[in-house]
Amino acid sequence: MEPLYLGLDASTQSLKASLLSENLDVRAECAIHFDTDLPHYKTKGGVIFGENGQVYSPVMMLVEAFDILFDKIKARNWDVASIKGVAGSGQQHASVYWSNQASSLLSNLDPKTRLVDQLSPAFSRSIVPNWQDSSTSKECQDFQTTVGGPVALAKITGSRAHERFTGPQILRFKRNHPDTYRETSRISLVSSAITTLLCSDGGVKGIDESDACGMNLWNVEGRHWEQSLLDLIGEDAGEKLGEVEKDAGKVVGHIGKWFVERYGFSPECAVFPGTGDNPATFLSLTLAPSEGLISLGTSDVVLVSTARYFPNPESHAFFHPARGANDSPSYFNMIVYKNGSLARQHVRDLYFEQSWDKFNAAVESLRPQAVTDLPNKAAFWWLLPDIVPHNAHGVFKYITDPSAGLFEIGAAQKVDAFPDVSSEALAILESQLFNYRSRSSTILDDSNTPAEPSTASLPDNIPRLTRVYATGGASANKTILSLMADVLSTKVCRNVEFYDNQWKDAMWNACSVGVAYKARWGYERSQGREITFDDLVAECRNNRAKLRGAEEPSISLEEEGIRVVAEPGEGARAYERRVDWWRALEHKALSEMNK
């Protein structure tokens, strides 16, 4: 029987599973969609919108989703008896509150009965606050005041205070519901709650260290809960949060009896620590230091992998999600922008008759083709108050003086619209991509002091990502990908998989696949082999290539599962010289916004 590995992903809207082979081929996937498969919880997009910015989901919806996901897996005859290891991914920041009955209920589950009919009393709080919640502004202020402001909080916890982060959420819960808080025995993140359910041995499993960095509570460099912030919450906050799991590939238990007897899992199937959905995506790409990901979705997200800790109030620094207890620490940094696809679509609809073809044609007709084609127009579309730059709002367009120096903006002229409509398409894309280029370069620039990035003029050849992966809806747009390669001055890649005898765009779910990789790595280590996560994934890819009969056995990653979809052309050199020019314009827009 072929050994298999399972990854689960509890995201905002669904619970998904991916089944992988020993060499990390994705064999099968299935999903439960909360709105449609569990309509009685009455969620929209997986959540319920309450008052005063509250956004949450019912905790029992997640539990019932487990019931029907595993029923579906059984109906599809997945060979669960051959699964050697499993790990879960969960939406970040969201928290689960266990009652003091949790332990005995979890260790005495009846395999003949659904989880939803047994576990309701295991939770002290019936809801899971969602990452879209914005009800904790007061608590965020309190967090920052406690440690001396946003920069200080970012230095300690990897991020300034954010309303969706778990620490401020817990504090608000305690203030509004002190009795229920007192009745709570343990607090999990969604990822560690999944791990707890999978083991069902009575123990509430530790929060994963990478996911703990999304809480505003974890001292990232010291690798412990930040005492001053635990004290701010008070009343046993440390005991409720428990030990953090610092070895991402450790066996934390075996799959529970409920899964063995009800569905036929092997009792030997090992469970590994779950992690957050962004760390899991990071794993699915095995990002090496200086590599990055740009996800072009409703909001745009940029991930930058680094060997050093670079906390900055504009980004979130996370611990690497696949480090063993003895591995040297490394990190990834995440920047989240609200005005992603929404703003691009707005410009398309306003100027290009809702047509991407027309939008793309405008970009292609004007984009720089040579080092001398320096951009001289920029447009900042902050339709929603943005996260980065903090609270930026409004629309600002500039035409700059062609006689000004390379890095200067000269007498930049503010305009309502560009004289040539085609410039609207190029200017929004360039400005968004310059933003990702500029901030990823700041993170990668070793001469910058953490939390106090330099604003001095940068020379040509400022640090850049050595490779960037593009995901999300807009990554299907070839013009956007090609401009991305130019503005970021790097190769743009996508994951591909080999089936029907050819390479095709990988359609699998990155988060559940990323944690299945982690289960595969953890299992290898549990067999007594010391190997890093990245080496294990590379080894599996090589094995796959050999099995496929590829001519070159020690094949490079580029040929085995990763396709370069765009490379920088001549125009890249023009953009390279204009990063500082763009920074000066952003600065100008922000100062005019505040007038």
Residues that bind ligand XUL (CB under 6 A): 11-12, 91-93, 131, 164, 214, 277-278, 336
* Phi then psi dihedrals of residue 284, to 5 deg: -65, -20
- Give how far Cα 64 sits from Cα of 39, 68, 191, 482, 537, Å: 12, 6, 16, 44, 33
**Residue 473 Cβ vs ligand XUL, minimum distance, rounded to whole Å:** 15
State both tokens at 268.
């030997």
**Residue 316 Cβ vs ligand XUL, minimum distance, rounded to whole Å:** 6
Q: Is the Cβ of residue 14 or residue 290 nearer to ligand XUL in the bound state?
A: 14
Q: Is the Cβ of residue 300 or residue 486 nearer to ligand XUL in the bound state?
A: 300
**Distance separating alpha carbons of residues 185 and 99, to the nearest angstrom:** 5
Q: Is the Cβ of residue 131 or residue 352 nearer to ligand XUL in the bound state?
A: 131
State both tokens at 420.
């040539």
Q: Is the Cβ of residue 93 or residue 544 nearer to ligand XUL in the bound state?
A: 93
Q: Is the Cβ of residue 11 or residue 195 nearer to ligand XUL in the bound state?
A: 11
Q: Is the Cβ of residue 518 or residue 583 nearer to ligand XUL in the bound state?
A: 518
- Cβ(15)–Cβ(31) below 8 Å: yes
State both tokens at 364.
């292609």
**Residue 131 Cβ vs ligand XUL, minimum distance, rounded to whole Å:** 4
Find, among 356, 492, 351, 471, the residue nearest to 422 by Cα: 351
User: Helix/strand/coil (H, E, C) string of 125-164?
Assistant: CCEEECCCCCCCHHHHHHHHHHHCCHHHHHHHHCCCCCCC
**Residue 12 Cβ vs ligand XUL, minimum distance, rounded to whole Å:** 5
Q: Is the Cβ of residue 211 or residue 486 nearer to ligand XUL in the bound state?
A: 211
Helix ranges (DSSP H) in 213-295? 227-233, 237-241, 257-263, 277-284
**Residue 94 Cβ vs ligand XUL, minimum distance, rounded to whole Å:** 8
**Residue 301 Cβ vs ligand XUL, minimum distance, rounded to whole Å:** 7
Task: Please provide the DSSP assignment of 283-324 as one string.
Answer: HHTTPPTTEEEEEESSSEEEEEEESS----TTSEEEE-TT--
**Distance separating alpha carbons of residues 451 and 442, to the nearest angstrom:** 11
Find, among 259, 274, 315, the residue nearest to 292 by Cα: 315
Q: Is the Cβ of residue 164 or residue 348 nearer to ligand XUL in the bound state?
A: 164
Q: Is the Cβ of residue 518 or residue 577 nearer to ligand XUL in the bound state?
A: 518
**Distance separating alpha carbons of residues 206 and 196, to the nearest angstrom:** 9
End-to-end CA distance of the chain: 69
- Give how far Cα 390 sits from Cα of 126, 144, 160, 211, 313, Å: 33, 15, 11, 23, 9
State both tokens at 118.
């047994």
**Distance separating alpha carbons of residues 404 and 588, to the nearest angstrom:** 16
Q: Is the Cβ of residue 164 or residue 254 nearer to ligand XUL in the bound state?
A: 164
User: In sequence order, what are the beta bridge partners of 47?
Assistant: 44
